[in-house]
Chains A and B, each alone.
Chain A
Amino acid sequence: MRIVTLVKYVPDATAYRSFAADNTTDRAGVDGLLSELDEYAVEEALKIAEAGDGVEVVALTVGPAGADAALKKALQMGAGAAVHVVDDALHGSDALATARVLAAAIGKIGSVDLVLTGMASTDGGMSVVPAMLAELLRWAQVGFVGELSVSGSLVTARRDGDTASETIEAGLPAIVAVTDQINEPRYPSFKGIMAAKKKPVQTWGLADLDLDPATVGLGAAWSVVREVVKRPERAAGMVVTDEGDGGVRLAEFLADQKFI
């Protein structure tokens, strides 16, 4: 069985994030890392691999040159191989173009049974790529998964929906997006870090995937950002120290604001 985990290289959320002059996410001016939410997908793939025989885990990213750092982390955690799709024409690609590139890369990797992803990226956070990919590949897709098992050609997933807890069955090949409830991602061990150095990383451009550069990138996006405005800092509010009347003063504030 072959599992592909999709990993994204994102600006560190605890650092200062901003936009570049063309209104795309600034990826040059800030430290990047493997999107934390993708670590759960890598961990889940590794758990499936460890529980079964002949399971291969390939980490796949679409992103700029620095994005190989995300692949490196996945390899250090234990993925067996990695693929980096990188091409200048990809800058500013929207979710659908990204999904098209991922679909082509998954096709080229070949014989893929299961694609695991995080529930969202920690930068754009749209949560649409897994469903778009499923639509393009015409595979089954289950999102927001908190518990997963694979047996034979069937995946069983449990998830907490808005109104109910659901159990879902889908046949392979399938795409599963997992939440941060599913597991506790491992830290790379020293052995893992050393082993990662020898693992194969393939680098593909759009030409390798037979994709027309005119169909990706900022110019081909189907939506446009017109304006980006930094939100004004919230005006400093009033902070009081409880001297036995903190609760009453809180209630007074709420009454003044007409919440009572």
Chain B
Amino acid sequence: MAEILVLVDHVDGQVRKTTLELLTLAARAGEPAAVFLGSGYGAARDTLGAHGAGKVYVVEAGEFEQFLVVPKAEALAHIASSSGAAGVLVTSSPEGKEIAARLAVKLGSGVITDAVDVAADLSTTQSVFAGGYTVTAAVTTGTPVITVKPNAVTPEPAPATPVEEKVAVAFTAAATRARIVDRAPRAATGRPELTEASIVVSGGRGTGGDFAPVEALADALGAAVGASRAAVDLGWYPHAYQVGQTGKTVSPQLYLAAGISGAIQHRAGMQTSKTIVVVNKDPEAPIFAMADFGVVGDLHTVLPQATAEIEKRKG
């Protein structure tokens, strides 16, 4: 069976959950082989092995941290060509999509973005037009390059002892054209990563600027916090937490929208959530049309009461 390459998404060897999802999908189509670029492989090794990476290509080079995506695309193209891989899976993040785009050009291959599922024949499922349609597609030329959204699949344990192959890559002049001169890591919130979380509680303009009830409910549920663009534009919550067309796309088991009207651009970022719960004081708010459960009421009383009840039930 041919290898299916999975680009490891990590911070200093801390592997993100999406990578484990990609390894699980890769196992359907071939032999999962991880591609680890940058430093910290020692910290990643066991996690990758535990999720089925029978092979790991490791490229250590300072360029990955100093420059934008091109060195990563060049390394991945090098490995994709030399390994004869049958497909390449990359996380659907802004960076992942740029890497995939460049890789597709380098390999002369078709690319599919934002897959929510990948089948054994590497055909994909996508959700398009703000979740209004489901599209099945496949790459027909070259080595399929596919970016996959978080939460596409539940990562499955599949113990393997990775065979490691260190790869040296000679970068081109194009690799060093966009230099990262400063990087300020975001302060940790202690909450799950928004795109990976299985529960998301979001607040909008209806919070009136007070996100405390939203955060308290999120913490009671072990959830991530999200926000509408209105709340972000008003400076109430950081942009990194915006859900929607120009923010993050989330697809959690449970999405709870409080004080959010449900504009199409917001729906584009959360429509594929499994269960949707709404709290809004306007019974005519469009978001109720997609709710599995809704409360018409003031979030400033409904959310704290729900939080207290949840704490009580948890004991």
- Point out residues on A near B: beta carbons under 8 Å: 13-14, 17-19, 37, 94-96, 99, 119-120, 122-132, 134-136, 138-144, 146, 156, 160-171, 174, 179-181, 221-231, 234, 236-242, 245-255, 257, 259-260
15 example contacts (A-B, Cβ-Cβ < 8 A) are as follows A13-B130, A124-B128, A131-B97, A135-B73, A160-B240, A164-B185, A165-B184, A180-B246, A181-B246, A226-B136, A230-B133, A231-B131, A247-B307, A250-B306, A255-B313
Of B20-28, B35-43, B49-57, B107-115, the one contacting chain A is B107-115
Across the interface, A168 reaches (CB within 8 A) one of B101, B109, B132, B180, namely B180
CB contacts (< 8 Å) of A257 on chain B: these are 254, 275
Q: Contact: A242 with B296, CB < 8 Å?
A: yes
A251 and B139 contact, Cβ closer than 8 Å, known pairs A161-B94, A242-B297: no
Main secondary structure of the interface of A (DSSP, over half): mixed
Across the interface, A222 reaches (CB within 8 A) one of B129, B130, B142, B265, namely B142
Q: Contact: A247 with B136, CB < 8 Å?
A: no
CB contacts (< 8 Å) of B254 on chain A: these are 254, 257, 259
Contacts A180-B229, A260-B313 aside, 4 further interface pairs with beta carbons under 8 A come to A96-B105, A247-B309, A254-B221, A260-B310
CB distance from A253 to the nearest CB of B (A): 4
CB distance from A241 to the nearest CB of B (A): 4
Q: Contact: B177 with A96, CB < 8 Å?
A: no
Is B140's beta carbon under 8 Å from chain A? Answer: yes
Is B218's beta carbon under 8 Å from chain A? Answer: no
Across the interface, B134 reaches (CB within 8 A) one of A129, A171, A231, A250, namely A231
- Cα distance A253–B278 in the bound complex, in angstroms: 12
Q: Contact: A135 with B105, CB < 8 Å?
A: yes
Across the interface, A126 reaches (CB within 8 A) one of B69, B106, B113, namely B113
Is B181's beta carbon under 8 Å from chain A? Answer: yes
A139 and B177 contact, Cβ closer than 8 Å, known pairs A224-B138, A226-B136, A247-B302: yes
